[in-house]
Structure 1
C-alpha cells in the first residue's frame, strides 16, 4: 500500500468515526426532545422517567467530549501526514470546509463563567 493510500484509508475511517459521533449526538438529542414532548402531551409527571432523561443528558455530555477527542485526533493526523510525504489537503473527506481561522482543538471544555442577572 502506497503512503497516500495508507493516509486516505486512515482519513476515511476518521471521517466515518466523526460522522458516527455526530449521528449519536443527533439521535440522543432527539431522544430527550421526544421524551419531554410525550410527557407533556400526555400530562405525565416529570418524575416519571427523570432518571432516564438525566442519564441521556450525561450520555450527550460524554459523546460531546468524544467528539472533541476525535477533533484532536484529526488535527494530530493532519500534522503527521507531511511526515510520510502526504499533504492533508489532498485527502478526500466530507467535502465540508474548515473554519478560516487556525483553530487547534484541545479536547478540553472551556471553563464556564457565572453570569449575574441585572435587575
Structure 2
C-alpha cells in the first residue's frame, strides 16, 4: 500500500469515528431532552429517575471528552503526515472547512468544581 493510500485509509476511518462521536452526542442530547420533556408532560416528580438523568449527563460529558480526544488525534496525525511524504490537505475528508491554524484542540477539559446547594 502506498503512503498516500495508507494516509487516506487512516483519514477516512478517523472522519467516520468523528462522525460517530457527533452522532452519539446528538442522540444522547435528544435522550436527555426527552426524559425532561416526558417527565413534565406526565406530571412526574423530578425525584423519579433523577439518578438516571444524572448518569445521562455524565455520559454526555464523557462523549464530549471523547470528541476532544478525537480532535487531538486528528491534529497529531495531520502534523505527522508530512513526515511520511503526505500533505493533509490532499486527503479527502468531510468537506467541512477548518478554523484558522491558531485554533488547536488540546484535549484538556477544564476542571469541574463542586457547587454547594443553597438552603
Same fold (TM over 0.5): yes
Q: 1:112 and 1:19 mapped to 2: Cα distance?
A: 27
Determine the structure 2 residue equivalent to 1:41. 41
How is 1:44-63 mapped onto 2 (pairs within 5 angstroms)? 44-63=44-63
TM-score normalised by L of structure 1 = 0.91
Could you list the structure 1 runs, at least 4 aligned residues long, displaced by more than 4 angstroms after superposition.
Answer: none
Q: 2:101 and 2:74 mapped to 1: Cα distance?
A: 16
Q: 1:112 and 1:89 mapped to 2: Cα distance?
A: 36
Root-mean-square deviation over aligned CA pairs: 1.3
Determine the structure 2 residue equivalent to 1:26. 26
SS of 1:93's partner is coil
Q: Is 1:6 aligned with 2:6?
A: yes
Q: 1:24 and 1:112 mapped to 2: Cα distance?
A: 22
SS of 2:15's partner is helix
Q: 1:94 and 1:52 mapped to 2: Cα distance?
A: 35
1:109 CA displacement:
1.5
* Total equivalences in the alignment: 113
Determine the structure 1 residue equivalent to 2:91. 91
